[in-house]
Amino acid sequence: MDLELNYPSVPGQNELLTAGLAPLLRPDALGEALRPVGAAGTGAARRALAGLVSVDACNACGSCDSCDSCGSWHADAADLLFAGNGRQAIAGALSALVPPGQRLGVEELTYPVVKAVAERLGIVLVPLAVDEHGLLPDAVAAAHRTAGPLRAVYVQPRLQNPLGVSLPRERAVALVAVLRRLDLPVVEDAVWSFLRPGSAPLAALAPERTVLVDSLSKRLAPGLTTGFAVVPAALRERVAGALRSGGWAPSGFALEAAVRWIGDGTLASVEAAKRADATARQLLAREVLTGQRLRSDPGSYYLWWELPPGLRAEAFVAEAARAGVSVTPAAAFAVDPRRSPSAVRVGLASPPLPVLARALETLAGIAAGRGEQARGDG
Protein backbone atom coordinates (compact mmCIF):
# COMPACT_ATOMS: atom_id res chain seq x y z
CA MET A 1 0.00 0.00 0.00
CA ASP A 2 1.78 3.06 -1.30
CA LEU A 3 1.47 6.16 0.87
CA GLU A 4 4.64 7.73 -0.56
CA LEU A 5 3.67 8.72 -4.11
CA ASN A 6 0.83 11.21 -4.29
CA TYR A 7 -0.99 11.19 -7.63
CA PRO A 8 -4.70 11.82 -7.09
CA SER A 9 -7.31 10.36 -9.41
CA VAL A 10 -11.08 10.56 -9.06
CA PRO A 11 -13.96 8.46 -10.47
CA GLY A 12 -15.01 9.56 -13.95
CA GLN A 13 -11.75 11.40 -14.57
CA ASN A 14 -10.66 9.26 -17.52
CA GLU A 15 -14.05 9.55 -19.20
CA LEU A 16 -13.93 13.34 -18.93
CA LEU A 17 -10.40 13.51 -20.30
CA THR A 18 -11.27 11.17 -23.18
CA ALA A 19 -14.23 13.31 -24.24
CA GLY A 20 -12.06 16.42 -24.23
CA LEU A 21 -9.41 14.75 -26.38
CA ALA A 22 -11.78 13.56 -29.11
CA PRO A 23 -11.69 16.80 -31.17
CA LEU A 24 -7.90 16.86 -30.93
CA LEU A 25 -7.63 13.51 -32.71
CA ARG A 26 -9.01 14.82 -35.98
CA PRO A 27 -6.22 14.80 -38.62
CA ASP A 28 -6.09 18.58 -38.98
CA ALA A 29 -6.06 19.28 -35.25
CA LEU A 30 -3.60 16.47 -34.53
CA GLY A 31 -1.18 17.70 -37.17
CA GLU A 32 -1.12 21.13 -35.56
CA ALA A 33 -0.69 19.67 -32.05
CA LEU A 34 2.27 17.52 -33.10
CA ARG A 35 4.33 20.48 -34.26
CA PRO A 36 7.37 21.31 -32.11
CA VAL A 37 7.02 24.21 -29.69
CA GLY A 38 9.53 26.14 -27.65
CA ALA A 39 9.53 27.52 -24.12
CA ALA A 40 7.04 30.22 -25.11
CA GLY A 41 4.50 27.56 -26.05
CA THR A 42 1.57 28.80 -28.13
CA GLY A 43 -0.61 31.86 -27.83
CA ALA A 44 -3.63 29.73 -26.96
CA ALA A 45 -1.69 27.90 -24.23
CA ARG A 46 -0.37 31.15 -22.74
CA ARG A 47 -3.87 32.62 -22.56
CA ALA A 48 -5.45 29.46 -21.14
CA LEU A 49 -2.83 28.87 -18.45
CA ALA A 50 -2.71 32.55 -17.49
CA GLY A 51 -6.43 32.41 -16.86
CA LEU A 52 -6.05 29.16 -14.92
CA VAL A 53 -3.62 30.54 -12.32
CA SER A 54 -5.17 34.01 -12.00
CA VAL A 55 -7.01 34.69 -8.74
CA ASP A 56 -10.11 36.85 -8.29
CA ALA A 57 -10.13 37.44 -4.55
CA CYS A 58 -12.66 40.27 -4.62
CA ASN A 59 -15.13 42.09 -6.82
CA ALA A 60 -14.22 45.58 -5.66
CA CYS A 61 -13.08 46.93 -8.97
CA GLY A 62 -12.57 44.13 -11.47
CA SER A 63 -9.89 46.02 -13.31
CA CYS A 64 -6.62 45.42 -11.48
CA ASP A 65 -3.82 43.09 -12.53
CA SER A 66 -2.77 42.67 -8.91
CA CYS A 67 -4.03 44.15 -5.69
CA ASP A 68 -2.12 44.26 -2.41
CA SER A 69 -5.28 44.97 -0.44
CA CYS A 70 -7.45 42.10 -1.68
CA GLY A 71 -4.99 39.57 -3.10
CA SER A 72 -6.42 39.46 -6.61
CA TRP A 73 -3.93 38.67 -9.33
CA HIS A 74 -4.38 38.38 -13.05
CA ALA A 75 -1.42 36.73 -14.78
CA ASP A 76 -0.34 38.27 -18.07
CA ALA A 77 -0.30 35.72 -20.91
CA ALA A 78 2.95 37.27 -22.14
CA ASP A 79 4.64 36.12 -18.93
CA LEU A 80 3.96 32.40 -19.45
CA LEU A 81 6.77 29.97 -20.23
CA PHE A 82 6.49 26.18 -20.54
CA ALA A 83 8.52 23.06 -19.77
CA GLY A 84 8.05 19.34 -20.16
CA ASN A 85 6.84 19.01 -16.57
CA GLY A 86 6.74 20.85 -13.26
CA ARG A 87 10.14 19.56 -12.14
CA GLN A 88 11.73 20.93 -15.30
CA ALA A 89 10.02 24.27 -14.76
CA ILE A 90 11.51 24.41 -11.26
CA ALA A 91 14.93 23.44 -12.60
CA GLY A 92 14.75 26.11 -15.28
CA ALA A 93 13.84 28.81 -12.77
CA LEU A 94 16.58 27.82 -10.31
CA SER A 95 19.17 27.50 -13.06
CA ALA A 96 18.32 30.99 -14.30
CA LEU A 97 18.39 32.66 -10.88
CA VAL A 98 21.16 30.90 -8.93
CA PRO A 99 24.63 30.37 -10.48
CA PRO A 100 26.60 27.23 -9.55
CA GLY A 101 28.21 27.55 -6.13
CA GLN A 102 25.75 30.23 -4.99
CA ARG A 103 23.14 29.99 -2.23
CA LEU A 104 19.41 29.32 -2.47
CA GLY A 105 17.20 29.73 0.59
CA VAL A 106 14.59 26.97 1.05
CA GLU A 107 12.28 25.87 3.83
CA GLU A 108 14.19 23.55 6.17
CA LEU A 109 11.80 20.76 5.18
CA THR A 110 11.24 20.97 1.46
CA TYR A 111 10.20 19.15 -1.72
CA PRO A 112 12.87 16.43 -2.27
CA VAL A 113 13.13 17.15 -6.00
CA VAL A 114 14.46 20.62 -5.18
CA LYS A 115 17.28 18.99 -3.22
CA ALA A 116 18.14 16.78 -6.22
CA VAL A 117 17.92 19.66 -8.72
CA ALA A 118 20.16 21.85 -6.57
CA GLU A 119 22.77 19.10 -6.31
CA ARG A 120 22.75 18.60 -10.07
CA LEU A 121 23.08 22.35 -10.72
CA GLY A 122 25.76 22.91 -8.06
CA ILE A 123 23.47 25.15 -6.00
CA VAL A 124 24.05 25.40 -2.25
CA LEU A 125 20.83 25.00 -0.29
CA VAL A 126 20.38 27.08 2.85
CA PRO A 127 17.70 25.77 5.24
CA LEU A 128 15.29 28.44 6.48
CA ALA A 129 13.34 27.99 9.70
CA VAL A 130 9.59 27.40 9.62
CA ASP A 131 6.88 27.33 12.28
CA GLU A 132 3.27 26.18 12.32
CA HIS A 133 2.40 28.91 9.79
CA GLY A 134 5.26 28.26 7.36
CA LEU A 135 8.44 30.10 6.40
CA LEU A 136 9.72 32.74 8.86
CA PRO A 137 10.63 36.03 7.12
CA ASP A 138 13.31 36.75 9.72
CA ALA A 139 15.00 33.48 8.78
CA VAL A 140 15.47 34.77 5.23
CA ALA A 141 17.10 37.96 6.47
CA ALA A 142 19.35 36.07 8.90
CA ALA A 143 20.50 33.60 6.24
CA HIS A 144 21.26 36.45 3.83
CA ARG A 145 23.58 38.01 6.41
CA THR A 146 25.38 34.75 7.24
CA ALA A 147 28.14 33.06 5.20
CA GLY A 148 27.38 34.98 2.03
CA PRO A 149 24.22 36.42 0.48
CA LEU A 150 21.36 34.40 -0.93
CA ARG A 151 20.70 34.66 -4.66
CA ALA A 152 17.04 33.60 -4.47
CA VAL A 153 14.43 31.88 -2.28
CA TYR A 154 12.33 28.84 -3.16
CA VAL A 155 9.10 28.54 -1.19
CA GLN A 156 5.77 26.73 -1.21
CA PRO A 157 3.38 29.29 0.29
CA ARG A 158 0.22 27.21 -0.17
CA LEU A 159 -0.08 23.61 1.05
CA GLN A 160 3.63 23.29 1.68
CA ASN A 161 5.04 19.85 0.93
CA PRO A 162 5.55 18.02 3.32
CA LEU A 163 3.95 20.07 6.13
CA GLY A 164 0.68 20.98 4.43
CA VAL A 165 0.66 24.48 5.93
CA SER A 166 -0.13 27.73 4.09
CA LEU A 167 1.27 31.18 4.79
CA PRO A 168 -1.31 33.51 6.40
CA ARG A 169 -1.66 36.78 4.52
CA GLU A 170 0.16 38.74 7.21
CA ARG A 171 3.11 36.35 7.01
CA ALA A 172 3.15 36.54 3.21
CA VAL A 173 3.18 40.35 3.33
CA ALA A 174 6.07 40.29 5.81
CA LEU A 175 7.99 37.83 3.64
CA VAL A 176 7.55 40.01 0.57
CA ALA A 177 8.80 43.03 2.51
CA VAL A 178 12.01 41.16 3.37
CA LEU A 179 12.47 39.96 -0.20
CA ARG A 180 12.09 43.52 -1.50
CA ARG A 181 14.45 44.96 1.08
CA LEU A 182 17.10 42.37 0.17
CA ASP A 183 16.25 42.59 -3.57
CA LEU A 184 15.82 38.82 -3.82
CA PRO A 185 13.80 36.95 -6.45
CA VAL A 186 11.55 34.13 -5.28
CA VAL A 187 10.48 30.88 -6.93
CA GLU A 188 6.93 30.14 -5.79
CA ASP A 189 5.91 26.49 -6.15
CA ALA A 190 2.13 26.45 -6.64
CA VAL A 191 1.65 22.83 -7.76
CA TRP A 192 -0.83 21.98 -4.98
CA SER A 193 -2.50 25.40 -4.84
CA PHE A 194 -5.54 24.24 -6.84
CA LEU A 195 -6.73 22.59 -3.62
CA ARG A 196 -7.07 26.07 -2.06
CA PRO A 197 -8.96 28.06 -4.72
CA GLY A 198 -9.13 31.80 -4.26
CA SER A 199 -5.99 31.89 -2.15
CA ALA A 200 -3.71 34.61 -3.50
CA PRO A 201 -0.13 33.68 -4.47
CA LEU A 202 2.99 35.59 -3.53
CA ALA A 203 2.95 36.75 -7.15
CA ALA A 204 -0.07 38.90 -6.24
CA LEU A 205 2.06 40.74 -3.69
CA ALA A 206 5.40 40.88 -5.52
CA PRO A 207 4.81 40.24 -9.23
CA GLU A 208 8.06 41.98 -10.18
CA ARG A 209 10.27 39.37 -8.43
CA THR A 210 8.17 36.19 -8.29
CA VAL A 211 8.53 33.24 -10.66
CA LEU A 212 5.39 31.19 -10.07
CA VAL A 213 5.82 27.53 -11.08
CA ASP A 214 2.95 25.09 -11.57
CA SER A 215 2.05 21.96 -13.54
CA LEU A 216 -0.95 19.89 -14.58
CA SER A 217 0.19 16.52 -13.23
CA LYS A 218 -1.62 16.88 -9.89
CA ARG A 219 -4.55 18.84 -11.28
CA LEU A 220 -5.24 16.28 -14.01
CA ALA A 221 -2.99 13.22 -14.39
CA PRO A 222 0.71 12.39 -13.90
CA GLY A 223 1.05 11.38 -17.55
CA LEU A 224 0.17 14.92 -18.64
CA THR A 225 3.69 16.23 -18.23
CA THR A 226 3.18 19.94 -18.75
CA GLY A 227 4.95 22.42 -16.51
CA PHE A 228 4.68 26.17 -16.73
CA ALA A 229 5.96 29.31 -15.07
CA VAL A 230 4.69 32.87 -14.81
CA VAL A 231 7.85 34.96 -15.12
CA PRO A 232 8.15 38.74 -14.74
CA ALA A 233 9.51 40.59 -17.74
CA ALA A 234 12.86 41.36 -16.11
CA LEU A 235 13.58 37.65 -15.62
CA ARG A 236 11.77 36.14 -18.61
CA GLU A 237 14.67 35.82 -21.05
CA ARG A 238 16.94 34.31 -18.39
CA VAL A 239 14.38 31.64 -17.52
CA ALA A 240 13.54 30.99 -21.17
CA GLY A 241 17.23 30.57 -21.94
CA ALA A 242 17.64 28.11 -19.07
CA LEU A 243 14.69 26.06 -20.33
CA ARG A 244 16.12 26.00 -23.84
CA SER A 245 19.65 25.08 -22.79
CA GLY A 246 18.37 22.39 -20.43
CA GLY A 247 16.41 20.72 -23.21
CA TRP A 248 13.24 21.16 -21.16
CA ALA A 249 10.86 21.91 -24.01
CA PRO A 250 7.13 21.29 -23.60
CA SER A 251 5.07 18.84 -25.65
CA GLY A 252 2.84 20.54 -28.20
CA PHE A 253 0.27 17.77 -27.88
CA ALA A 254 0.09 18.15 -24.09
CA LEU A 255 -0.28 21.93 -24.41
CA GLU A 256 -3.11 21.60 -26.92
CA ALA A 257 -4.85 18.99 -24.77
CA ALA A 258 -4.58 21.31 -21.76
CA VAL A 259 -6.06 24.21 -23.74
CA ARG A 260 -9.06 22.07 -24.68
CA TRP A 261 -9.59 20.67 -21.18
CA ILE A 262 -9.46 24.16 -19.70
CA GLY A 263 -11.77 25.59 -22.34
CA ASP A 264 -14.48 22.92 -22.12
CA GLY A 265 -14.60 22.86 -18.32
CA THR A 266 -13.02 19.41 -17.91
CA LEU A 267 -10.17 20.70 -15.79
CA ALA A 268 -12.48 22.67 -13.49
CA SER A 269 -14.66 19.57 -12.98
CA VAL A 270 -11.69 17.35 -12.15
CA GLU A 271 -10.24 19.96 -9.77
CA ALA A 272 -13.54 20.26 -7.90
CA ALA A 273 -13.79 16.48 -7.57
CA LYS A 274 -10.23 16.29 -6.26
CA ARG A 275 -10.89 18.98 -3.66
CA ALA A 276 -13.82 16.95 -2.35
CA ASP A 277 -11.75 13.77 -2.48
CA ALA A 278 -8.83 15.32 -0.58
CA THR A 279 -11.18 16.57 2.13
CA ALA A 280 -12.71 13.11 2.52
CA ARG A 281 -9.28 11.51 2.80
CA GLN A 282 -8.15 14.01 5.42
CA LEU A 283 -11.26 13.30 7.48
CA LEU A 284 -10.58 9.57 7.25
CA ALA A 285 -6.95 10.02 8.28
CA ARG A 286 -7.86 12.21 11.24
CA GLU A 287 -10.40 9.64 12.40
CA VAL A 288 -8.06 6.64 12.13
CA LEU A 289 -5.08 8.50 13.60
CA THR A 290 -6.96 10.15 16.45
CA GLY A 291 -4.59 11.19 19.23
CA GLN A 292 -1.52 11.41 17.01
CA ARG A 293 0.40 14.65 16.43
CA LEU A 294 -0.63 15.53 12.90
CA ARG A 295 -0.04 18.67 10.88
CA SER A 296 -1.79 19.41 7.61
CA ASP A 297 -4.58 21.31 5.88
CA PRO A 298 -8.16 19.96 5.82
CA GLY A 299 -8.00 20.03 2.02
CA SER A 300 -4.53 18.57 1.51
CA TYR A 301 -3.61 15.21 0.00
CA TYR A 302 -0.86 14.57 2.57
CA LEU A 303 -0.17 15.00 6.25
CA TRP A 304 2.87 15.38 8.48
CA TRP A 305 2.98 12.96 11.38
CA GLU A 306 5.24 13.74 14.34
CA LEU A 307 5.81 10.30 15.81
CA PRO A 308 5.39 9.50 19.52
CA PRO A 309 8.48 9.90 21.72
CA GLY A 310 10.91 7.02 21.38
CA LEU A 311 9.68 6.09 17.92
CA ARG A 312 12.40 6.69 15.33
CA ALA A 313 11.27 7.64 11.83
CA GLU A 314 13.58 5.29 9.92
CA ALA A 315 12.68 2.32 12.09
CA PHE A 316 8.98 3.19 11.85
CA VAL A 317 9.24 3.34 8.05
CA ALA A 318 11.02 -0.02 7.98
CA GLU A 319 8.41 -1.64 10.23
CA ALA A 320 5.63 -0.18 8.07
CA ALA A 321 7.31 -1.58 4.95
CA ARG A 322 7.39 -5.04 6.51
CA ALA A 323 3.65 -4.66 7.03
CA GLY A 324 3.20 -3.68 3.38
CA VAL A 325 2.79 0.08 3.81
CA SER A 326 5.25 2.66 2.43
CA VAL A 327 5.57 6.17 3.88
CA THR A 328 8.27 8.82 3.56
CA PRO A 329 10.64 9.61 6.44
CA ALA A 330 11.43 13.21 7.39
CA ALA A 331 15.02 12.76 6.21
CA ALA A 332 13.82 12.80 2.59
CA PHE A 333 12.66 16.40 3.09
CA ALA A 334 15.31 17.73 5.48
CA VAL A 335 17.81 20.13 3.91
CA ASP A 336 20.17 19.63 6.85
CA PRO A 337 20.31 15.88 7.64
CA ARG A 338 21.46 16.71 11.16
CA ARG A 339 18.12 18.40 11.83
CA SER A 340 15.74 15.70 10.65
CA PRO A 341 12.81 15.30 13.06
CA SER A 342 11.24 11.99 14.03
CA ALA A 343 8.33 12.32 11.63
CA VAL A 344 6.92 10.94 8.40
CA ARG A 345 4.87 12.29 5.54
CA VAL A 346 1.80 10.23 4.72
CA GLY A 347 0.49 10.58 1.18
CA LEU A 348 -3.28 10.09 1.02
CA ALA A 349 -3.98 10.42 -2.69
CA SER A 350 -3.13 7.15 -4.38
CA PRO A 351 -4.99 4.18 -2.78
CA PRO A 352 -8.75 3.64 -2.94
CA LEU A 353 -10.41 4.78 0.29
CA PRO A 354 -10.89 1.26 1.78
CA VAL A 355 -7.23 0.45 1.10
CA LEU A 356 -6.18 3.78 2.58
CA ALA A 357 -8.18 3.04 5.73
CA ARG A 358 -6.46 -0.33 6.18
CA ALA A 359 -3.04 1.21 5.61
CA LEU A 360 -3.65 3.94 8.17
CA GLU A 361 -4.91 1.38 10.69
CA THR A 362 -1.68 -0.57 10.19
CA LEU A 363 0.39 2.55 10.83
CA ALA A 364 -1.67 3.42 13.89
CA GLY A 365 -0.98 -0.05 15.25
CA ILE A 366 2.75 0.35 14.79
CA ALA A 367 2.68 3.74 16.52
CA ALA A 368 0.70 2.24 19.38
CA GLY A 369 3.49 -0.23 20.06
CA ARG A 370 2.48 -3.33 18.14
CA GLY A 371 5.57 -2.82 15.98
CA GLU A 372 8.20 -3.07 18.73
CA GLN A 373 11.12 -3.01 16.30
CA ALA A 374 10.23 0.59 15.50
CA ARG A 375 10.99 1.63 19.09
CA GLY A 376 14.12 3.58 19.81
CA ASP A 377 15.84 0.55 21.40
CA GLY A 378 14.71 -1.90 18.71
In whole angstroms, give the CA distance from residue 44 to residue 62: 23
129 and 187, same structural domain?
yes
* In a shared domain, residues 190 and 288: no
pLDDT in tens, 142-198: 999 987 899 999 999 999 999 999 999 999 999 999 999 999 999 999 999 999 988
At residue 230, does pLDDT exceed 60? Answer: yes
Residue 60 has pLDDT above 50, yes or no: no
Q: Is residue 36 part of a domain?
A: no
Same domain, 222 and 295: no
Rg (CA), the chain: 21
Q: Does the residue 18 lie in any domain?
A: no
CATH of the domain at 288: 3.90.1150.10
pLDDT reported for residue 215:
95
Please compute the mean of the pLDDT values over residues 73-81 and round it to a whole number. 96
Shared domain check, 313 and 204: no
**Sheet order of strands, 80-83 included:** 80-83, 227-230, 210-215, 186-189, 150-155, 103-107, 124-128
Secondary structure (3-state) at 80: strand
Q: What is the 3-state secondary structure (H, E, C) of 322-342?
A: HCCCECEEHHHCECCHHHCCC
Please tell me the distance from the alpha carbon of residue 249 to that of residue 227, in angstroms, as a whole number. Answer: 10
| Mean pLDDT, residues 205-226 taken together | 91
Rounded average pLDDT over 219-239: 92
Question: For the CA atoms of 231, 63, 181, 147, what is the dihedral angle to 10 degrees?
Answer: -30
Q: What is the mean pLDDT of residues 22-41?
A: 82
Least confident of 17-21, 344-348, 368-372: 368-372
At 284-341, the pLDDT tens digits run: 999 999 999 999 999 999 999 999 998 999 999 999 999 999 999 999 999 998 889 9
Q: Tell me what pLDDT residue 31 has.
A: 75
Are 167 and 275 members of one domain? Answer: no
Residue-level pLDDT at 252: 86
**Per the domain annotation, does 70 fall within a domain?**
no
Quote the pLDDT of residue 370: 56
Higher pLDDT, 20 or 13: 13
User: Are both 228 and 94 inside the same structural domain?
Assistant: yes
CA pair distance 50, 230, nearest whole angstrom: 8
Residue 32 in any domain: the answer is: no
* Same-domain status, 118 and 219: yes
| The pLDDT of residue 64 is above 70 | no
On whether both 299 and 204 belong to a single domain, the answer is no
262 part of a folded domain: no
Q: Amino acid identity, residue 28?
A: D
Within-domain flag for 15: no
List the CATH number of the domain containing 199: 3.40.640.10
Amino acid at 349: A
Domain limits for position 290: 267-374
Tell whether 185 is covered by a domain. yes
Whether 119 maps to a domain, the answer reads yes
Nearest by Cα to 95 from 21, 148, 142, 154? 154
* Same domain? 110 vs 222: yes
pLDDT value for 49: 96
Q: Cβ–Cβ contacts within 10 Å for residue 297, how many? A: 21
Mean pLDDT of the chain: 91
Helix (H) or strand (E) holding 302: strand 302-306
pTM of the full structure: 0.92
The pLDDT > 70 percentage for the chain reads 94
Q: What is the pLDDT of residue 59?
A: 44
Do residues 295 and 229 both lie within one domain? Answer: no
Residues 95, 215: one domain?
Answer: yes
Please state the domain count of the chain.
2
CA distance 2 to 147: 40
- Mean pLDDT lowest among 2-11, 52-61, 98-107: 52-61
CA separation for the pair 23, 164 (Å, rounded) = 38
pLDDT given for residue 17 in this prediction: 87
Q: Are residues 115 and 178 in the same domain?
A: yes
Look at residue 177 in the predicted model and tell me its pLDDT: 98
pLDDT digits 0-9 by tens, 138-151:
999 999 998 789 99
The pLDDT value given to residue 71:
62
* Phi and psi angles of residue 340, each rounded to the nearest 5 degrees, phi first: -95, 115
Please compute the mean of the pLDDT values over residues 244-261 and round it to a whole number. 90
**Residue 199: per-residue pLDDT:** 85
CA–CA distance, 189 with 157 (Å, rounded to integer): 7
Q: Please check the confidence at residue 67 and state whether its pLDDT lies above 80.
A: no
Q: Is the pLDDT of residue 378 over 50?
A: no
Does 346 have pLDDT greater than 90? yes
Residue 294: strand pairing partners: 305
Contacts of 348 (CB under 8 A, 6+ apart): 3, 6, 278, 281, 282, 284, 285, 300, 301, 302, 303, 356
pLDDT-derived band at 374, boundaries 50, 70, 90: very low
pLDDT confidence band for 351 (50 / 70 / 90): very high
